Amino acid sequence: MKKTIVAFSGPLMLAVLFLLLVQTTHAQIVNEQTRKKVSIGVGLFTDIWNNMPEFVNSKGKTSQFETRVFNQGFQALAMYNFPFGKSDFGFSAGLGFRAENMYVNEAGFKSTKDSTYIVKMADSIDVRRSKLTMPYIELPVEFYFKSTKTKVAVALGFKIGYMFPAHTKYVGENYNYYDQTVYRFKQREILNMETFSYGPTLRIGYRWIHAFGYYSISKIFMKNKGPAIYPITVGLLLMPY
């Protein structure tokens, strides 16, 4: 027997709207000179979660919560380029969207008015999926070098993100009543989240394939209201324009 609580996902809808906006923008690019001033990209990434909290396991030893090896996320961006004269150097500013995920192994998330924390499940409970999703609208800026001869690009920048309401998703046995019914449910508008995310970025690419990284200076939870965890992001970005 399965019990399902249905909820709609805001990040997916925002991603679709962003891609439609990108397509409309591209259709309005009428000449090569204008095209060079606009950069559009979409990409996938994974997060390395740092400073994960600890718990006492069934053997009485202190262990650390573990996340999945790949915590896949999605991002899209549109940048307007300001070249420095006729050189290969320039400055870019734009708008982006990022959907970040934290998948925890054999654990779940609980949120109250005063605190949000990760809960270790008993070994007897089958946890199939447990994640925290954080959608952001971002304002990225970059100083870049793009060789007109080799098509190699390097960009160093900084971005600030505004978080929309985060949510958790759990698929597994009921950990409150220890029964074997498989549940699928979401908890929306998780409390005690930091409103803003910010940190430096690095991008290196050849033609339209780019590797990128992001180091979050900010934590994802408010101070003293959740674990002081933060991500280091690495991924691939496709920038055909």
Closest by Cα among 59, 141, 48 to 94:
141
- Classify each residue of 54-75 as buried b or exposed e, where b means 16 or more C-beta atoms within 10 Å of its C-beta: eeeeeeeeeeebebbeebebbb
Specify the pTM: 0.81
Residue 19 has pLDDT above 60, yes or no: no
Domain of 114, in residue numbers = 2-238
Tens of pLDDT, residue by residue over 173-216, are: 876 655 667 778 888 888 999 999 999 999 999 999 999 999 99
Total domains in the fold of the chain = 1
- Three-state DSSP at 191 gives coil
Closest by Cα among 39, 45, 158 to 99:
45
Long-range residue pairs from 177-180, CB within 8 A, at least 24 positions apart, any chain: 178/122, 178/124, 178/125, 180/126
| Contact criterion met (CB below 8 Å) for 207 and 237 | no
Instruction: Provide the pairing of β-strand 179-188 with 2-4.
Output: parallel
| Contact criterion met (CB below 8 Å) for 95 and 77 | yes
Confidence at 4, pLDDT banded by 50, 70, 90: very low
Tens of pLDDT, residue by residue over 80-118, are: 999 999 899 999 999 999 999 999 998 988 888 889 989
DSSP 8-state symbol, 193? B
Confidence at 31, pLDDT banded by 50, 70, 90: low
pLDDT attached to residue 176: 62
